[in-house]
Amino acid sequence: MKRKISILAAAILTLGLTACGGAASQPSSQGVASSTAQSGKDVLVVYFSATGTTKGVAEKIASITGADTYEIKAAQAYSEADLNWNDSNSRSTKEQNDSSARPKIGSETKSLEGYKTIYIGYPIWWGEEPRIMDTFVESYSFNGITMIPFCTSGSSGIGRSGQNLAKHAGSGNWLEGKRFGAGASEDELKNWIKGLQ
């Protein structure tokens, strides 16, 4: 009788341990799935795009990272004449020649709460970031946020634009940025993003 009870107790103990082991492994796999599904929820792609070129790259980055997007729109939209870099009296030329110019933003204010990474994109104008980007970074606090600049241009590099933004922002952990052409492929962007990690 004692032997039967011992065998029965051993069998119950074995079953109990096996069941606990199976249950313990399940939550960890659910945790991985959960964190993967939420990977883009703390990422934001902010961009200014006067002609649509930067917007195209920004949307690809958002698609790859699963990020939210926020478009910086000028309160007064830029016309083709405003963007004529050959005209010394064009609006954009005057703004770029005045480092204190701060064009008004027409987009609604965006809450940055919960974001840990922000990709911040813009075209290169006269070798620098458009002044409206300075308006944007001076209007927010980026404490605890990793800031990743990217720009678009026909030929100019990113230059000091990322450093300028970091200086104007005065907060955030700013990484070195990268310039992309209008036809930047998803593979090119994926390789860049992968290299950041």
DSSP string, 79-95: PTTTT-TT-TTSHHHHH
Residue 31 pLDDT exceeds 70 = no
Q: Which residue has the higher pLDDT, 22 or 103?
A: 103
Residues 6+ apart with CB under 8 A from 70: 44, 45, 46, 47, 107, 110
Task: Give the model's pLDDT for residue 197.
Answer: 76
Average pLDDT, the chain: 84
Least confident of 16-30, 63-77, 165-179: 16-30
Task: Give the model's pLDDT for residue 40.
Answer: 64
State the pLDDT confidence band at 155, using cuts at 50, 70 and 90.
Answer: confident
3-16 mean pLDDT: 40
Kindly state the percentage of the chain with pLDDT values over 70: 80
CA pair distance 47, 73, nearest whole angstrom:
9
Residue 19's H or E segment, with its range, is: helix 2-37
State the pLDDT confidence band at 41, using cuts at 50, 70 and 90.
Answer: confident
Distinct helix (H) and strand (E) counts, the chain? 6, 6
pTM over cut 0.75:
yes
